[in-house]
Structure 1
Amino acid sequence: MKIDGHEIELSNRDKVFFPEAGLTKGDLIDYYEQVAPVMVPHMKHYGVSMQRFPDGIDGDSFYNKDTPDYFPDWIERINFPKQEGGSFNAPVITSKAGLVYLANQAVLTPHLYLARKDNLNHPDKMIYDLDPPEDTTDYSVVREAALAIRQVMQELELECWVQTTGSKGFHVIIPLDCSADFDAVREFAKDTARLLVRREPDKYTLEQRKSDRKGRVFLDMLRNAYGATAVAPYAVRAREEGPIATPLDWQEIKDGASPRDWTIESLPRRLAQKDDPWAGIRKHGYSLSGRREQLDELLEQEEPADEES
């Protein structure tokens, strides 16, 4: 198969990757080839952590952070220093050929680092990972949490974007201008979450232990850290039916979108009928420094929650 001038030898297209749905490795490759024009622009500035399933979702899986030696030279690498010392070379996907090559290597799900390849210590996004409480599939509570985060951000004159995770919940993303380091971004994310907990302590929590959450939505901002990743927009998840991490517009959240509404089979139809809701996200990049004082004032207006004591 020749793509972008590169010859890619595809293998085992008939191997079943999603047994219940009957979807094969070939279906995975075809999906990524179809969505590449929309997906690659969201990937091309970031290193990728590769989640690989050589025998499909019922087989063993592993993460590749380091680009294997046998990957072709035309796939870009970025040297990524580790905090504990040493480094690894993460692949960077800048073309359809690169995305198809990953799929042929059984990379079911590409995960992106939160900082651009040329500025690894300063993220260009702040992220919240919202999942429903344990033992429930009531996604209305995480939709409500996403909208609550959006409301707080609007109070701080920040716009945010939302996507399904293709798993259990939603990601809310605020694009940044790379002026703040990870510590400052994580502290800001924590304090905006703390503001929500103070306002509605019966709905939201920052308790990391599941046993302490008591049916509340955990406002998970812990991904805002050096070396952390988030699932790439339009990535396939390792669940039956091949659900997709799908960028949404906010009206779709209000209308009741669920985390696994789109799949390998239905997502291309969606893109044929609807423009990418995240198409303009890279035109934005907010500074947090001028909003720190605003956030502190909002926090002072609310009584501390019981969990803060």
Structure 2
Amino acid sequence: MGEEKKFGSHSFEVSNLDKVFFPKEGYTKGDLIDYYEKIADTMLPYIKNRPLTMIRFPNGIEDKQFYQKDAPDYFPAWIKTKAIEKQEGGTTNYVVCNDKATLVYLANQACITPHIWLSRQDRLDFPDRMIIDLDPSHDDFGEVKDAAKKIRELLGEELGLPLYLMTTGSRGLHIVVPMKRTRDFDEVRKFAQKAARFLEQEYPDTMTTAARKNKRGDKLFLDVGRNAFGQTGVAPYSVRPINGAPVATPLDWDELDRSSLSAQSYNIKNIFNRLGSKEDPWKDMDASAVSLTAARKELNNIFKEN
């Protein structure tokens, strides 16, 4: 049975609400839709005006998934899109999710996990986010937390970068730098790569920039590959397609001291208790945006590469 959803002048039917998407917990498609409707006001500022890639699971997390960049022809005309040229020719018509109606519509399309660009649609070549993805080699979240603190000492305290923290909802953490849109992706990526090599040099026993898994050993991988045109990161407050329906959750830095904290601490059920008892840690992050000029100069001073 379907149900009519109405948001202002936009209305559509949501369907198959009883279909189980997370078998272990019995969470249904209806639960996913309800989650995104409730989280929309908190989540929308982080995804607004950004091209979005849908990861869709028509029959739940234990069945086939597919990535979809192009908005299908059957999407309603009121859903905003951005046509972006492909290198091989032609264009991709990305969804741009600027309102609750669109977010709920995407959930009804079995889009469990929206991924977003690091730039906004009006200046695609100039990111306003830089991401360092802390990707552990094994499931010891204590090591991830320790690495995050060390990165904050070097990049935050020494280089003066504003650093924001988020559980990925999977295994690791994202450290995010809000940026003024003054440098293109190539410049930002070069800085991120050099910062990662600096960290690797400082902590050679625990951190690596080796992209190949067989070269990492037990070290934590500093993944800066998302800092490129057309690459995406998991959107804050997105649900991950994992048992328990964990949610990518912005954190305060002092929360790393909680022994109970894991990458999957928050999920579609308990996230609202959190948001009801504390302010969203990323709420004012854009006010901290930097240009990288001072940080790049300082990095060049303290890290001389052969």
Q: TM-score normalised to the size of structure 2? A: 0.95
Q: Is residue 143 of structure 1 aligned with residue 145 of structure 2? A: yes
The structural deviation recorded for 1:227 is 0.5
Q: Is residue 197 of structure 1 aligned with residue 200 of structure 2? A: yes
Q: Secondary structure at the match of 1:219?
A: strand
Q: Is residue 274 of structure 1 aligned with residue 278 of structure 2? A: yes
1:226 is aligned to 229
Q: Which amino acid aligns with 2:88?
A: E
2:23 is aligned to 19
Q: Is residue 44 of structure 1 aligned with residue 48 of structure 2? A: yes
The structural deviation recorded for 1:85 is 2.8
Q: Is residue 217 of structure 1 aligned with residue 220 of structure 2? A: yes
Residue ranges of structure 2 left out of the alignment (5+ in a row): none
Alignment partners' CA distance in 1, 2:193 and 2:151: 12
The structural deviation recorded for 1:83 is 2.8
The structural deviation recorded for 1:291 is 2.6
Aligned sequence identity (%): 47
Q: Is residue 56 of structure 1 aligned with residue 70 of structure 2? A: no
Q: Render the CA deviation track for 1:10-32: whole Å, top value 9, x for unaligned.
A: 10000000000100000000000
Q: Render the CA deviation track for 1:66-95: whole Å, top value 9, x for unaligned.
A: 111111111111112223332211111111
Q: Is residue 77 of structure 1 aligned with residue 81 of structure 2? A: yes
Q: Secondary structure at the match of 1:224?
A: coil
The structural deviation recorded for 1:168 is 0.9
The structural deviation recorded for 1:196 is 1.1
1:153 is aligned to 155
Q: Please point out which of 178, 186, 189 is paired with 1:186.
A: 189
Q: Is residue 65 of structure 1 aligned with residue 69 of structure 2? A: yes
The structural deviation recorded for 1:170 is 0.7
The structural deviation recorded for 1:147 is 1.8
Kindly report structure 1 stretches of 4+ aligned residues shifted beyond 6 Å.
Answer: none
Alignment partners' CA distance in 1, 2:87 and 2:272: 39
Q: Please point out which of 97, 100, 116 is paired with 1:96.
A: 100
Contact 1:244–1:263 (8 Å) recurs in 2: yes
The structural deviation recorded for 1:146 is 1.6
Q: TM-score normalised to the size of structure 1? A: 0.94
Alignment partners' CA distance in 2, 1:4 and 1:227: 32
Q: Secondary structure at the match of 2:303?
A: helix
Q: Is residue 241 of structure 1 aligned with residue 244 of structure 2? A: yes
Residue ranges of structure 1 left out of the alignment (5+ in a row): none
Q: Render the CA deviation track for 1:151-208: whole Å, top value 9, x for unaligned.
A: 2222111111010111110111001111111111111011111111111111111111
Q: Please point out which of 287, 291, 296 is paired with 2:295.
A: 291
1:34 is aligned to 38
Q: Secondary structure at the match of 1:253?
A: helix
Question: What does 1:102-113 correspond to in 2, within 5 Å?
Answer: 102-113=106-117
The structural deviation recorded for 1:247 is 0.7
Alignment partners' CA distance in 2, 1:53 and 1:270: 27
